[in-house]
Every structure is written in structure tokens, then in C-alpha cells.
């Protein structure tokens, strides 16, 4: 099936069960929320799906993206995009430079890269921001640029780890709507970790409890 599939995933830490066993199908465009107490393994689960689980953990189970079994693959081969709360933009690059960094390597020609970056900014209401220093952006603008950077790599699934955690309530609503709309437009199956019940409600999909 198209989408993101977790098949009988179980993660242990020091031989003690931490997450799962968990099986879950996330449909294209669906946002499934992962909730649970602090330390219950929410970020660890995302790390497993993204392919960057720390060595301290052991895991079993499979991860499939659009029917492709990515379980043994390194993160860069999985086509899974990730957005963290602390997604810092590179301070030594312009906004456009940050976005070009996310652009997949297949697009080589400089003018084409520039055009893609400018189109992405325009669609996000940030036309003309390409040459700005990231330090001059508001928190909401930075969050949008971080999401655009993730999306320019053309992922086939999206992982969100407390992506709105640092934004105040009004901005949070705004950025959240932006992120969910992009996930839906692109038909990206999305797993979102949050502590915030309002985030879960806004996602409108299923909630999976861990821990
Ligand atoms: N690299 C690591 N090595 C060893 N243990 C780790 C490592 N990273 C996390 N842990 C431990 O694994 C457990 C799960 O951590 P994780 O970050 O997945 O929880 P979480 O549910 O995301 O928590 P929070 O809601 O506080 O972010 C915790 O006990 C944590 O201390």
C-alpha cells in the first residue's frame, strides 16, 4: 500500500521493552499523532522510522515507505523527511542557501535551483526572502523555512517531533495549519510527536499512545 507502514515494531533499551510491539498504517496525507509520558520512547520511535536509532537501543520490526522496505537503509536513502522542534537553520547561509541545502542533489543547474527555492518561498508567503539572513526572521517564518527545507528533499513520509514546541499559541496554530496543509497537499503520511492535545485535535487523525 502507499503510505507509511510500521510492522510489528518493538524497541528495547538495556533489554527492557520501551516501545511496542506496534503495527500502524499511515495513509498518504494522514497525520497520526504519537503521545505518551516523557521518556516513553516517542522520539526513539521516530528515530527508528527515520533510520537513526542510537546504539543503546535494539529494535525489531519493519518500516515500509510506499511499499518499499526501508528497514535496513541509512536515513538518506529512506525518503523520510524530519522536522524537529530545534530545527535550526544554518546561520552562515541565507534563507535561500538553507533551502538549496535541502534540495535533492539531482537538481544541479544553479538557475533551476534558484527558481525552485523562490517558488517554494512564494508558496509559503515568503516571496523575496531568499537573500535574508535567517537571524532576521521571526519564529514562525523560521519554522516555515525549516519545513520547506525538509519538503524540498521530496520525502515520501514526514516525521514531526514537537515541531511547534517553541511557538506561542497564536503562531503555533498558524504554523501547524501550514504544516498539515503541506502534508495533505503532497499526500505525505505523517507521524507527529506532541505533548499538546490541541496539536492532536488539529491533526484530526488517529492518536497512538506509547508508554
Ligand atoms: N542516545 C540514547 N542512549 C541511551 N538512552 C537514551 C538515548 N536517547 C534517549 N534515551 C532514553 O530512552 C528513553 C526514551 O527517550 P525518548 O527521547 O524517546 O522519550 P520521549 O517519549 O520522546 O520523551 P520526551 O517526551 O521527554 O521528549 C528515555 O529513558 C531516555 O533517557
Predicted pLDDT of residue 77: 92
How high is the mean pLDDT of the chain? 92
Structural domain count, the chain: 1
Q: How many residues does the chain have?
A: 211
Q: Which atom of ligand 1 is nearest to the CA of 54?
A: 1
pLDDT band at 108 (very low <50, low <70, confident <90, very high): confident
User: Three cell numbers at 49?
Assistant: 522510522
Model-level ipTM above the cut of 0.90: yes
Predicted pLDDT of residue 105: 67
Predicted pLDDT of residue 124: 86
What is the crossing angle of helices 110-123 and 95-102, to 10°?
110
Average pLDDT for residues 157-163, to the nearest whole number?
Answer: 94
Among protein residues, the one with the nearest Cα to ligand 1's atom 6 is 56
Q: Note the Cα 92 to chain centre separation in Å.
A: 23
What is the DSSP code (8-state) at residue 195? S
Query: Which CATH number covers residue 176?
Result: 3.40.50.300
Residue of 43, 45, 162, 163 to mutate, ligand 1, most atoms within 8 A of C-beta: 43
Reported pTM: 0.92
pLDDT band at 96 (very low <50, low <70, confident <90, very high): very high
- Ligand 1 centroid distance, CA of 14 (Å): 12
- Ligand 1 centroid distance, CA of 210 (Å): 12
Task: Determine if ligand 1 sits within 6 Å of the CB of residue 36.
Answer: yes
pLDDT digits 0-9 by tens, 64-79: 999 999 999 999 899 9
**Over 80: is that where the pLDDT of 29 sits?**
yes
pLDDT digits 0-9 by tens, 31-47: 999 999 999 999 999 99
Predicted pLDDT of residue 35: 96
> Sheet holding 4-13: strands in order across?
16-26, 4-13, 57-65, 68-69
Task: Determine if ligand 1 sits within 6 Å of the CB of residue 16.
Answer: no
CB atoms within 10 A of CB 44: 21
Which residue range(s) make up the domain with 24? Answer: 4-209
Amino acid at each position: 500500500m502507499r503510505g507509511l507502514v510500521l510492522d510489528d515494531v518493538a524497541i528495547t533499551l538495556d533489554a527492557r521493552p520501551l516501545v511496542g510491539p506496534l503495527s500502524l498504517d499511515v495513509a498518504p496525507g494522514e497525520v497520526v499523532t504519537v503521545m505518551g509520558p516523557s521518556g516513553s520512547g516517542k522520539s526513539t520511535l521516530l528515530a527508528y522510522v527515520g533510520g537513526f536509532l542510537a546504539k543503546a537501543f535494539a529494535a525489531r520490526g519493519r518500516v515500509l515507505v510506499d511499499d518499499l522496505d526501508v528497514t535496513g537503509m541509512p536515513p538518506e536513502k529512506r525518503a523520510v523527511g524530519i522536522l524537529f522542534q530545534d530545527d535550526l537553520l544554518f546561520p552562515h547561509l541565507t534563507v535561500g542557501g538553507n533551502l538549496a541545502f535541502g534540495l535533492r542533489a539531482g537538481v544541479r543547474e544553479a538557475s533551476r535551483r534558484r527558481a525552485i527555492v523562490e517558488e517554494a518561498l512564494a508558496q509559503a508567503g515568503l516571496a523575496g526572502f531568499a537573500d535574508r539572513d535567517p537571524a532576521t526572521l521571526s519564529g514562525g517564518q523560521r519554522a516555515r523555512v525549516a519545513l520547506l527545507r525538509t519538503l524540498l528533499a521530496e520525502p515520501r513520509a514526514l516525521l514531526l517531533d514537537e515541531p511547534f514546541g517553541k511557538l506561542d499559541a497564536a503562531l503555533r496554530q498558524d504554523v501547524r495549519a501550514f504544516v498539515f496543509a503541506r502534508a495533505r497537499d503532497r499526500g505525505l503520511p505523517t507521524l507527529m510527536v506532541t505533548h499538546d492535545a490541541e496539536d492532536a485535535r488539529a491533526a484530526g487523525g488517529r492518536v497512538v499512545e506509547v508508554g
